[in-house]
Homo-oligomer: A and B are copies of this chain.
Amino acid sequence: MQETSQADQVVITAPHRELLDQVLDKWSLQVLDKLCGRPSRFNELRREIPVVTQKSLTATLRRLERNGMVERVVVATRPIAVEYRITPLGTTLQDLIDALLRWSTANMADVERARARFDAEA
């Protein structure tokens, strides 16, 4: 086992920055988090993620689909049903998202103290 916590000259180039931006933004994080649990329908996601508009949710799902993170499955019923599910590529992100949430949970108190201190100065 080698140490992997040091950045072995990993650099944030434009393509990496762009990908992370498209996958870690406000809505994508929440959509991926939901879909890692189980597949969901469009309006189901809309109800569970407060409070995303249909426009933003559509845009987010399209971008995640384009990047290969989610799959759009159309069921030809009447009316139409569309299921969104995480892809194998998308699941590679799951541990990272969990790690981000754990980090946020573990450090939220410190962050709030820092904010209070900062706001008290001014």
Contact = CB atoms under 8 A, between A and B. Distances in A.
Interface string A8-41: 0011100111011100111001100100110000
A93 interface: yes
A67 B115 contact: yes
B108 A103 contact: no
A105 interface: yes
A99 B99 CA distance: 10
A90 to B, nearest CB: 10
Nearest to A22: B111
Given A6-B98, A96-B100, A16 B110 contact: no
Interface of A: 4-7, 10-12, 15-17, 19-21, 24-26, 29-30, 33, 36-37, 65-68, 89, 92-108, 110-111, 113-115, 117-119
